[in-house]
Chains A and B, each alone.
Chain A
Amino acid sequence: MYPKSFEYISPTNIDDVISLLDKYKEDAKLISGGHSLIPLMKLRLVSPQIIVDLNNVSGYDNIALNQDILSIGSRVTHHEIEISNLLKEKCYMIPEAAALIGDPQVRNVGTIGGALAQADPAGDWGSVMLSLNAEFAVKGKNGDRSIKSIDFFKDYYETDLTYDEILTEININAPDKSQGGAYLKLERKIGDFATVGIAVQLSVKKNHIDNIGIGLTAVSNTPIKAIKSEEFLLNKQITDENILETANITAQNSDPNDDIRGSAEYKKAMVKEFTIRAIKLAIKRCKRD
């Protein structure tokens, strides 16, 4: 309940944030919502010497649609995403997932950028972004770059970000009207981390799957993209057998742990079941041709 001592600074300029992170490297941690880091600090599981606070840097807090690119600023809170009419209209899966993160108070403070950078394999945003083939805009001492979501997650709590880099924006090709998506999360109780979570985004053309992205939560050391499943289902006809086979492949390629939320065997079976449900729901949500 009582963190160890540390030093704190809250710059107003993003370049100052970057130079501080570059200066202090592994001794410093960046906080945005702080709802991943501060709980760890209170239990003394993590005790950084320096905390750099992003919250007095203005900007990076908008949700916008610019020429078919949906952009979500990294400092946007889960709650702002949950209530965003733009996202509900353009990509329903995103606010759907936001509503399932933590609880109302946590959603008021936690940010999508902070959650993605935390790279908790049981975090909900990773699988959603992987299913959408999102790209992350990043700013560091060497300037700006963009990281594809598939290249972003490296290991438990490890991303491709260097010490000095900050995630600034999440960019997604705005799904067209023919697409539908669903995020389903199996949890022991509301607000828990996922036992398993599935994000599916797809489009349908002439009763075939025209486009498909599948992301998985809590079944590996990072959020994962179910590439083999996507490859299987792409261009296939929508039948129960094809959906079932996709679900089988997804389960086979997931690698969950035995833990308090369930055995690996159960989780794999749930990956299969929820893949079926998510695909069917996503299909239902497509505005078909």
Chain B
Amino acid sequence: MAVSSLFGAKVKRVEDPKLITGQGIYVDDITLPGMLYMTVLRSPYAHAKINSIDLSSALKNPNVVMCVTGKELKNEVNYLQVGWDASSANPPSKVPKRYPLESDKVRYVGDGVAALVATDKYTAKDVLESISVDYTPLSVVTKPKQAIAKDAPILHEELGSNETWNIKMQFGDFTKSFNNSDVIIKEKLINQRLIPSAMETRGVVASYNLGTKQLTLWSSTQIPHQLKKYLSFTLRISENKIRVIAPEVGGGFGSKLNFYPEEALACYLSMKTGKPVKWIEERRENMTNTIHGRDYEIDVEAGFKKDGTIQGVKCKVFCNVGAYYMHFTALLPHLTALMIPGCYKLPSLDYDCHVVLTNIISTDAYRGAGRPESIYIIERIMDLAALELDMDPVDIRLKNFPQSDEFPFTTTVGLAYDSGDYSNALNEVLKLVDYSTFRNKQKELRKQNKYIGIGFSSYTEICGWGPSAGIEATYPKTNAVLGKWEYGAVRFDPSGKVTVETGSSPHGQGNETTWAQLVAHELGVSIDDIVVLHGDTDAVPYGVATYASRSATLGGVAVYNACQKIREKAKLIVAKQFEARHEDIVFDQGKFSVKGLSEKFMSITDVAKSAFVADNLPENVEPGLSETSFYDPSNFTFPFGAIAIIVEVDILTGEIKILDYSSIDDCGNVINPMIVDGQLHGGAAQGIAQAQFEEAKYDDNGQLITSSFMNYYIPTAFELPNYRLSRTITPSPVNPLGVKGVGEAATIGSPPAFVNAVIDALKPFGIKNLDMPLKPETVWNAINNSKK
């Protein structure tokens, strides 16, 4: 793949001028005539029966237009569909259904019981407090083991149990591996619950036209096309009467790839009142009601030979998934298993995972979505084994990597990693940090009672979601409403300017710039002549979404494929113009010409004009110059890398300072290095934040204690380091661009590197494991207990 001046170039983002001048339109910036404001009355109890709701005081208020409860809704709307319910798994998962409002009982603090619309925001907020609901509180469970204990209260009685799914997977023969091992590592690992906390909370404006019976929904979402399907089912209106628009979206990180009750509710109330309805989530509301991430408890056993060769891993996992299945809730515990092998030749894996409902908000995809959990497991295991075997953590990793000539490399779970060179990445990062100098410095400082440590993480992860047939064949049938392809289109207009349509729905990832670079590179058009449309289901008729690092890997490839179709049609048109055979037309540096006769050429703009004038087109070639592509990949892609974090620990207070963050990240070919680096910075920040700062905490009554940024600690610029990034480029053979995806890589790879670094710093104290977040008190306790 030849690198042009634009593919691989640092190009300033075309998205930025509106954003840096405050002209970007986010959902709360939208005002429509006659717009009403919606608020949702939410349960103060984590688990309770709803006996009655008295709306009279609300209805008395002249500014309140309409109120609705779950009971009334149940006759008119369907439940909320999810993207993955695993009901066809073997054994099948139970599926806890969720409705836009609950009618019989509430299952977490925040569960909606009524919604109202008023003519102004203040009335809508004030009146909520006057609605009285009679609840009978029930006992509450907030942890999985508590929820499956005898006599635990059952959240969904019709399911009979709070354990919805027991995922049991065995690859290879763990018992044999166990017997072959010289040492067995045993540890309990916690991957704690996180709150995604995009800077823009969720929000919607729904507008139903009583005359045309068309519904338009603006939503701060990552999945506009999927929302069309979901709304169609829930609201019982046909999909072709629905338009969904994702305006500027202020971050998502997975928390907005979902179908939320408020989206359905706002649409319903707009349909009933004939007026636009706006709902904007407050931050406390967001922290309680927008999906959380992670929350796994893992008992791990791993067998190793004396020389460090890994034999097998056994995991018993409890996933605390909250009160309902939402979009990908059920997928993640399954997906985690598939990436536990990480970068290693792992002979066997035994995975026993209990997916358990509790009286808190659901978990779902949050940057990494199941894979941070996998890499945390294997990368901590590597360090635990290195400690046990008195091996260098670098050596134990090098020992177990497949070599670059062993790719595509099929792991014990049956995934074929497309390409990789893990040894090279790790060795390169050692150079970056000057490893041997570090170890000497560490030794010297220990003599002075000062403690620094280095932690490594070799990561790979599964991206480019995904091959539709392959997924259905490998996994249980998903009952998904949409495949896993992506859509792209390239359309010339008669003046020769280009509009690109993409089913990707970016919210910060810079796809408008990157796709413009791609199209400019492929067709020789100036970037200034390209507009990229996304997020509006009327402007872009098909799409799946942005998540699972599938933008470049699928969305970009679809656009690329559309460009190839354009080139083919252009060649036919040029051939007719130049009275040549179409096989003799070449395209180089933006010019179509007959091979060997380059002085006579047509630019793509010339071709476009000609295509629309249509006075000299070949037979069987229609006028116009626009092509579409639905790209369904043959496989996933697997970016990889190595991260090294150096920390200093104050052993008197437990405070940790990051002295250095270095990484080699390989996402295959790079279209815009500036944008790729930005994704790595942001990903690393969230990974470090998980390792050091963030933790969603509930009390025993199911109340979220960490319900604001005052005590849910999102780091500022002061807490975070600079990220010293470097790259290797190992193109993916899966797609013609050779790209692998990068959006989640650093969030997946960095938490174990941080924890490994702190454990390494505290090696003289004999501390083997610490749970995230590594608060100063956690470290201080461990040090004090070790002295005893």
Residues of A within 8 A of B (CB): 1-2, 4-5, 43, 186, 188-193, 260, 262-263, 266, 269-270, 273
A-B contact pairs, 17 of them (CB 8 A): A1-B283, A186-B655, A186-B776, A188-B776, A189-B693, A189-B713, A189-B716, A189-B719, A190-B718, A260-B706, A260-B711, A262-B775, A262-B776, A262-B777, A266-B777, A273-B652, A273-B653
- Given A2-B121, A189-B713, decide whether A266 and B693 contact each other with a Cβ distance below 8 A: no
- Given A262-B777, A266-B780, decide whether A1 and B706 contact each other with a Cβ distance below 8 A: no
The answer to whether B718 touches A186, judged by C-beta atoms less than 8 angstroms apart, is no
- Given A188-B775, A260-B706, A263-B777, decide whether A270 and B719 contact each other with a Cβ distance below 8 A: no
Question: Using an 8 Å CB-CB cutoff, how does the interface string of B692-723 with A read, 1 for contact, 0 for none?
Answer: 01000100000001100011010110110000
Bound state CA distance, A266 and B125, in angstroms?
A: 41
Q: With an 8 A cutoff between CB atoms, is B126 at the interface?
A: yes
Bound state CA distance, A4 and B122, in angstroms?
A: 9
Bound state CA distance, A245 and B716, in angstroms?
A: 37
B320 → chain A, closest Cβ, in Å?
20
Q: With an 8 A cutoff between CB atoms, is B282 at the interface?
A: yes
The answer to whether A1 touches B282, judged by C-beta atoms less than 8 angstroms apart, is yes
- Given A43-B284, A189-B715, A269-B780, decide whether A4 and B652 contact each other with a Cβ distance below 8 A: no
The secondary-structure label for the interface of chain A is loop
Residue of B nearest to A273 (CB): B652
Bound state CA distance, A18 and B754, in angstroms?
A: 56
Q: B residues within 8 A CB of A193?
A: 710
Known: A188-B775, A262-B776. 18 other contacts (CB 8 A): A1-B283, A2-B121, A2-B125, A4-B126, A43-B284, A186-B653, A188-B693, A188-B776, A189-B693, A189-B715, A189-B719, A191-B716, A192-B713, A193-B710, A262-B775, A266-B780, A270-B653, A273-B653
Residues of B within 8 A of A (CB): 121-122, 125-126, 282-284, 652-653, 655, 693, 697, 705-706, 710-711, 713, 715-716, 718-719, 775-777, 780-781
The 8 closest A-B pairs by CB, nearest first: A266-B777, A190-B718, A2-B125, A1-B282, A260-B711, A262-B777, A273-B652, A189-B713
Q: A residues within 8 A CB of B776?
A: 186, 188, 262
Bound state CA distance, A154 and B705, in angstroms?
A: 28
Q: A residues within 8 A CB of B705?
A: 260
The answer to whether B716 touches A190, judged by C-beta atoms less than 8 angstroms apart, is yes
Q: B residues within 8 A CB of A43?
A: 284
Q: A residues within 8 A CB of B655?
A: 186
The answer to whether A2 touches B122, judged by C-beta atoms less than 8 angstroms apart, is yes
A102 → chain B, closest Cβ, in Å?
11
A268 → chain B, closest Cβ, in Å?
12
Bound state CA distance, A269 and B122, in angstroms?
A: 47
Bound state CA distance, A4 and B283, in angstroms?
A: 18
Bound state CA distance, A250 and B785, in angstroms?
A: 23
B546 → chain A, closest Cβ, in Å?
28
Q: A residues within 8 A CB of B780?
A: 266, 269
Q: A residues within 8 A CB of B652?
A: 273
Residue of A nearest to B716 (CB): A190
Q: B residues within 8 A CB of A191?
A: 716
Bound state CA distance, A189 and B715, in angstroms?
A: 7
Residue of B nearest to A188 (CB): B713
B607 → chain A, closest Cβ, in Å?
55
Residue of B nearest to A267 (CB): B777
Q: A residues within 8 A CB of B284?
A: 43
Q: A residues within 8 A CB of B653?
A: 186, 270, 273
The answer to whether B126 touches A190, judged by C-beta atoms less than 8 angstroms apart, is no
A41 → chain B, closest Cβ, in Å?
13
Bound state CA distance, A191 and B715, in angstroms?
A: 10
Residue of A nearest to B697 (CB): A260
B696 → chain A, closest Cβ, in Å?
12
B654 → chain A, closest Cβ, in Å?
8
Q: B residues within 8 A CB of A263?
A: 777
B48 → chain A, closest Cβ, in Å?
22
The answer to whether A190 touches B121, judged by C-beta atoms less than 8 angstroms apart, is no
Bound state CA distance, A153 and B710, in angstroms?
A: 24
Residue of A nearest to B784 (CB): A269
Residue of B nearest to A190 (CB): B718
Residue of B nearest to A43 (CB): B284
The answer to whether A190 touches B282, judged by C-beta atoms less than 8 angstroms apart, is no
Q: B residues within 8 A CB of A262?
A: 775-777
Bound state CA distance, A43 and B282, in angstroms?
A: 10
Contacting residue for A266 out of B282, B706, B715, B781, CB 8 A? B781
Residue of A nearest to B778 (CB): A266
Bound state CA distance, A193 and B710, in angstroms?
A: 9
